[in-house]
Amino acid sequence: MPSYDFEVDLESLINASTKASEAVKQKKEQDVEDVVPTESDVGSDTVWKALDDFQDRWERGINDMTDDIEEVAGRLGQVATNYVDFDNKAKERMQKFAEKTDGLETTELIGEQDGN
């Protein structure tokens, strides 16, 4: 029979979600065009065309990665929330069970202890 015992490091899940969200925010605050020279800075049409093409491809790649990281951040946060909700519901159910069984006699279930 398989064992379903496991532990979840909620702090790590939440930290990963937070750090990923911070990376997305940082990217959104500074665009690729903020770090690439302008056409007037370059001074050559040939170089500018190559640089502009590179910038466009770089921008698309960074935007795709940012979208993916944003998705990861959201999913990690949701996973952490799901585990917290599951844990809280399990505690509530166990508390109800403990309250219902608190006064039950256990000797009939486990037998008399004879010291062996």
What does each C-alpha distance from 53 to 36, 47, 49, 61 come to in angstroms?
A: 12, 10, 6, 12
pLDDT per residue as tens, the chain (116 positions) = 677 677 889 999 999 999 999 999 998 888 888 888 989 999 899 999 999 999 999 999 999 999 999 999 999 999 999 999 999 999 999 999 998 888 777 776 666 666 55
CA distance 69 to 16: 11
